[in-house]
Structure 1
Amino acid sequence: MDLCDRSGDPAASSSDAREDEMKRATAKSLIERYFYQLTDGCGNPTCDNKHCASSGQVTTLSPNEAAAKAIQLFSEEARLCDPHRNKMPRTNFLSAGDNSVISSIPCNDMAAPISLNDSARSSQTKQDITMAEAIPYLTEDSLYEIISECESSENYSKLIRTLGEVFSSIESLVRSFRQRVLSSPIDAILDKTAGDLTTLKKEDVRSLEGEKDKDEDSCVSAMSPDSAENQRLPLDYAGLRRSYSALLERLPSNITESAMVNALVTLAGYLQMELQNRNTKLYSNDDIVHVLTIIYEIPVLGNGDFLETAFPALCRATKWINVEVQAKLAQMWSSSRNSSCLSLLLENLQQLVTLRVILTQFHPDFCVQEENVVTAATKLMKVVYYANILAGVLESPILRQKPDKNLWTDPEDELALELGVHPLDCRKPLIPLTEFYNEPLSDAVEVDKDFSNYKSPSPNKFSFLLYPFILTPATKALGLYYDNRIRMFSERRFSFLQSVSGNPSNPYLKLCVRRDHIVDDALVELEMVSMVNPIDLKKQLVVEFQGEQGIDEGGVSKEFFQLVIEEIFNPDYGMFVTQPESQTMWFNPMSFETEAQFTLIGIVLGLAIYNNVILAVNFPLVLYRKLMGILGSFEDLQDWNPTLYNSLKQLLEYPDPDLEEVFMQTFRVSYQDVFGNLMHHDLVECGDSVSVTPENKYEFVKLYADYLLNKSVDKQFTAFYKGFQMVTGESPLEQFFRPEEVELLICGSKNFNFDELEDATEYDGGYTRFTMIVRNFWQIVHAFSNEDKRKLLQFATGSDRVPIGGLSKLKLVIARNGPDSDRLPTAHTCFNVLLLPEYLTKQKLKDRLLKAINYSKGFGML
């Protein structure tokens, strides 16, 4: 199972290499004991060993001098004290209860090899007994030793015992897998000799004695995790991953799985007690981050018993971590910049959430928001979400600028504030953000209850809308719909109270327009409302076409918006221009219309969202980013004007120093106005005399993009944004959706799949999906062109757009409308009901259906 990149796979090592590793570890262990004996002593106040600091006979030594002396004492087999019972041994060891005997080591007095005598072996055995009383921990090297030893003896009890002891203890994991500093004097010597001190020269030891240590604690901190309690070394990320890979590749999973699962369940209990009892914390935030990083790096958390018992227990414990730990954990995960490892953690969390959602029986008294494993995993996924953002391509926070800061401010997300980053700062995340959607969860969420929890002031009520990254856009759109409807009902109640008190007011925002003067009538009425009483924009919209009998239950409004948008965004109207290459609409910098007109267009767009209507608009993504408070930048040019973007990118990537001669570009840019006249703009003062060079090319591109996307249309967009916020400013639109999701919300899905529509359609009046006319209907419709399919949608629902989430979210109803006749099909667009007479032949059905969708327009009596 290749989860991460590895080098130096221990499984591929020869037996000689493993033997060298063991020699090195054994030699290092004894040398470290001499080192601490010289520096710290054995802890026995009556010690008489002249080479022990506790005897008072050792002069003060620098770390390097002590290291050199320790190597010399090791080679001489000098007396080694037994550590006093009250003195915590600092020598690296493998696990409690490990009483292995050290074998002979090639060593000499810088000349001939020697072996350990009985006294040394006896001393080592006593040290092992002391180590049994101490706290176990693991390193990459020590784990390899245990694996090799178990493989040689074909007895894995030692490995199982060690994993159980280490992974069930917070303290053991705090000490485990600490990064080894390669500049350690002892490590440097062992690197030179590969653990064989027979090759060591006297000059090497003397050089240590003469060196001045730049960091007095460097040698100490390099030797073991508990040698510098107040200055913990960082996690050995690469070593940890190699260690897990070794466990998975070299050993059958059944050997370690049970021990690891049981240990992690025990660890989860200790973690939860530690994290909940904040007043009596035993471990620092850095220690907790270290432990969580180790356990969540386990590749198989999403498999077998890990997924069913250990992983849920860990998530329940982790939900108690504070914001500082969350931030440190996100930074730790992001620092590796390894998409495969971060993806694996996300995948494991998604599997856990999905499994719990599928297997749990939810009912009115127990909803998904109360399933503590699902909610705990969601909280942890938020940390992964921010780690993914931090590991991606971030833009400057300077681009986060609201056109009018008085209209709306960002809600304070504690984790975002702690990290100093906003999700919108991320131009390209390490993992696509769509990977965070969980569809089974989104389908299981009762949005009305979740929205109630979202609005509740109680911190004990969980809402997935506070973690919108995990919900699909369709589910979040339903949450926004509830928010909008509640505001509409509030305005309706307020109007009723006013009428009772003698000041009656219309409970609806009513627009009466002429079909042939629809834009003029609509804009005049909306301007009056925005000037006299802007709060009326929060009321439910009701549209009436003069001379037509349609009653607006939603269908009339849909057609109103469609007709208004078609006219306003017509280039002949002059307010917007079409980008020739991308065919997107953009503000006309040279428009003769007033700012008030753009404000009214913003109101129309906001009303469409507020009244749950999809519009046929085609803006570039940069507009939606700007609506959420992010200024346009160079990368936004990619879909705004691809040709210009590629040209500027070619300029930025040009490697040679003759850029000025090749491109001949200055800081003056040119463009055409609406009449075709060539216009100029200086990006800097006297821009025509400032050439673009390798030194200033980035500044040129930045200023050019800023001018095109921000400064040249500043008045138009600011007015447009003001109108948009007049309707949506108090809604959670910006909290629930990212820019690309807002585009889906406004424009609908591009997934034009009529198979989904057929599967989601319901039947009434005696029709079923097996009725002959219904079967003929779908055969005819599936053979339609896309244009005719859009006309059918327009006829039956009042809009030719696909709702967010696809056509499966469009609940079309096909109802019987009498026996065979010459009448055309009709529709109640307010309720998405298609009324279909039971035509006797398939050809007649097709003929009547095509006439209906091509020639019917308006709301009248049929």
Structure 2
Amino acid sequence: MSAAGKIIHRYFHQLIHGCGNAQCSNIHCRSSSSFKYDTTILDDRNKVAAEAIRLSLEHVLLCVDENMIKLHEEKIKINNLSENSLQELINYCKNINNWNLLNKSIEDIFSNRLNLLNNFLKEDFSNNILMNKEFLSTASATPKSFFVHDPRITLDNDEITLDIDAMKRSIKLLCSYEDHISLTIHKSLDILLNQLQYELKSKQHELESDANFFNLFFIIFQLPYLSDPCFLFDIARLFYSILTNLSIDAQAKFVRLVSKYTNNLNDYISHVQQYITLHALRWCSHVQIESDNDEFLSSEPGMKEGVNALRLLFYANLLSSQRDSLEIIETERKNNEKMENELVKRRQRYNDDASDNEGQRENEQKLPNDEN
């Protein structure tokens, strides 16, 4: 269907079914109490179609279809935020020139740990995750907190449930519309990370043992917003604080995972370097170099989190370096032994030759003396 055909179809739907908004004031919409048409026109679909064409030519106000939005909202809740469903949602928002549904979907997913971490899963994990309900207490309520368990994922191994390539494609698609979603991403991450910070203090073992937990760091590191000045002093700081306050075992697993699975470690490092740079500039703005102030750069709020995060990425970079196999190492060891033995033999031959030459010179010196 052409773009014009889609517009006409929307006018037709608006005349027959309305937009679903009980407060609608559009006289050309069936949902409005001020609907200008005699309802008998609805019995003749040809007349409705002709009127829809006329309205499209006159560019009459076209409502946002609340019924369609509800349908898509329900679909988003059912389906994972896959590349296909995300593209469908974006196309829908483009067609109606309204990004509210995309922003609401982002908020629902990115502001909730369980919703976010149940997305972008590998196929063999998505169908076999066991849900284990536990309870967390808060100051105001006792909401349920869910932790996902799978015997294939432990702190001791290097397995992860995340389909990294699929996640990267979806995040890239999503961030190509950053002008429409950046504020929602900021708001959602603020809610998510504060929730995580609380859980890390109260249920650290359960959280770190969650089969999907480490997916979060790959997803957030993939967001270009981490280097955005609007995110650096709150969202990024909170994120790096959570990362660097994990247990030693969890930090070790993060380092191993990054070294094993990511091929864009430089992007992660760039995020943290940008973070440290802007915090250093902020420190310089309120500390004069010539002053006697004993306030060090390391004391700048947020600097410790950035430095510690960079240290973890440095370890991951070392671990990801190309390492020789045991067979190659053993071959090199044997070759080194052969080389050492050969050097010893050469040195011995050299010493023997030197001794022979010395003896020959002594004999040559004795001959003239004997003749005299």
What is the TM-score normalised by the length of structure 2?
0.57
Q: Post-superposition shift, 1:243? A: 0.9
Residue 349 in structure 1 maps to residue 289 in structure 2: no
Residue 388 in structure 1 maps to residue 359 in structure 2: no
Inter-CA distance 314–379: structure 2 relative to 1 (3 Å threshold): same
Whether the 8 Å CA contact 1:330–1:386 is kept in 2: the answer is yes
Residue 272 in structure 1 maps to residue 168 in structure 2: no
2:304 equivalent among 375, 392, 408? 375
Identify the residue that residue 231 of structure 2 maps to in structure 1. 306
Q: Post-superposition shift, 1:349? A: 0.4
Q: Distance in 1 between matches of 2:335 and 2:207?
A: 55
Inter-CA distance 706–371: structure 2 relative to 1 (3 Å threshold): farther
Whether the 8 Å CA contact 1:352–1:377 is kept in 2: the answer is yes
Identify the residue that residue 296 of structure 1 maps to in structure 2. 221
SS at match of 1:287: coil
2:166 equivalent among 232, 235, 239? 239
Inter-CA distance 307–173: structure 2 relative to 1 (3 Å threshold): same
Q: Post-superposition shift, 1:317? A: 2.5
1:705 equivalent among 336, 342, 361? 336
SS at match of 1:234: coil
Q: Post-superposition shift, 1:282? A: 4.9
- Superposed CA deviations along residues 379-399 of structure 1, whole A, max 9, x for unmatched, are 11222112212221124799x
- Superposed CA deviations along residues 486-512 of structure 1, whole A, max 9, x for unmatched, are xxxxxxxxxxxxxxxxxxxxxxxxxxx
1:243 corresponds to which letter in structure 2?
S
Residue 100 in structure 1 maps to residue 71 in structure 2: yes
Identify the residue that residue 248 of structure 2 maps to in structure 1. 323
Identify the residue that residue 89 of structure 2 maps to in structure 1. 146
Inter-CA distance 282–351: structure 2 relative to 1 (3 Å threshold): closer
Identify the residue that residue 75 of structure 1 maps to in structure 2. none
2:253 corresponds to which letter in structure 1?
K
Structure with the bigger percentage of helix: 2
Query: Which has the higher Rg, Structure 1 or Structure 2?
Result: 1
Inter-CA distance 353–704: structure 2 relative to 1 (3 Å threshold): same
Alignment of 1:115-514 (within 5 A): 128=74, 138-181=81-124, 222-223=126-127, 229-231=148-150, 234-249=161-176, 251=177, 253-278=178-203, 281-282=206-207, 284-338=209-263, 341-360=264-283, 361-362=286-287, 364-395=293-324
1:170 corresponds to which letter in structure 2?
R
- Superposed CA deviations along residues 85-116 of structure 1, whole A, max 9, x for unmatched, are xxxxxxxxxxxx97216xxxxxxxxxxxxxxx
- Superposed CA deviations along residues 127-153 of structure 1, whole A, max 9, x for unmatched, are x49x97x9x963333322222221222
- Superposed CA deviations along residues 306-341 of structure 1, whole A, max 9, x for unmatched, are 234321221123221112221222222222351xx2
Q: Post-superposition shift, 1:375? A: 1.0
Q: Distance in 1 between matches of 2:247 and 2:342?
A: 42
Q: Post-superposition shift, 1:278? A: 4.4
1:260 corresponds to which letter in structure 2?
I
Whether the 8 Å CA contact 2:161–2:211 is kept in 1: the answer is no
2:201 corresponds to which letter in structure 1?
Q
SS at match of 2:123: coil
2:90 corresponds to which letter in structure 1?
I
Alignment of 1:459-608 (within 5 A): none
Inter-CA distance 343–283: structure 2 relative to 1 (3 Å threshold): closer
Identify the residue that residue 113 of structure 1 maps to in structure 2. none
Identify the residue that residue 808 of structure 1 maps to in structure 2. none
Q: Post-superposition shift, 1:271? A: 1.7
Q: Post-superposition shift, 1:355? A: 0.8
Count of paired positions: 250
Identify the residue that residue 21 of structure 1 maps to in structure 2. none
What is the TM-score normalised by the length of structure 1?
0.26
Q: Which runs of 5+ in 1 are unaligned?
A: 1-13, 16-96, 102-124, 182-220, 399-632, 635-697, 714-862
Identify the residue that residue 439 of structure 1 maps to in structure 2. none
- Superposed CA deviations along residues 163-207 of structure 1, whole A, max 9, x for unmatched, are 1222122222221211124xxxxxxxxxxxxxxxxxxxxxxxxxx
Identity %: 21
Alignment of 1:662-677 (within 5 A): none
Inter-CA distance 157–364: structure 2 relative to 1 (3 Å threshold): same
SS at match of 1:288: coil
Whether the 8 Å CA contact 1:140–1:177 is kept in 2: the answer is no
RCO greater where, 1 or 2, for CA within 8 Å and sep 6 or more? 2
Q: Distance in 1 between matches of 2:228 and 2:266?
A: 15
Q: Distance in 1 between matches of 2:303 and 2:250?
A: 20
1:236 corresponds to which letter in structure 2?
D
Q: Post-superposition shift, 1:350? A: 0.5
Inter-CA distance 224–709: structure 2 relative to 1 (3 Å threshold): same
SS at match of 1:99: helix
SS at match of 2:234: helix
Alignment of 1:624-639 (within 5 A): none
Q: Distance in 2 between matches of 1:234 and 1:710?
A: 51
SS at match of 2:71: coil
- Superposed CA deviations along residues 432-485 of structure 1, whole A, max 9, x for unmatched, are xxxxxxxxxxxxxxxxxxxxxxxxxxxxxxxxxxxxxxxxxxxxxxxxxxxxxx
Identify the residue that residue 555 of structure 1 maps to in structure 2. none
SS at match of 1:393: coil
Inter-CA distance 708–149: structure 2 relative to 1 (3 Å threshold): same
1:100 corresponds to which letter in structure 2?
L
1:704 corresponds to which letter in structure 2?
N
Q: Post-superposition shift, 1:226? A: 6.7
Q: Post-superposition shift, 1:709? A: 7.0
Inter-CA distance 163–139: structure 2 relative to 1 (3 Å threshold): same
Q: Post-superposition shift, 1:299? A: 2.8
Q: Distance in 1 between matches of 2:129 and 2:83?
A: 13
Q: Which runs of 5+ in 2 are unaligned?
A: 3-67, 133-147, 154-159, 345-372
SS at match of 1:176: coil
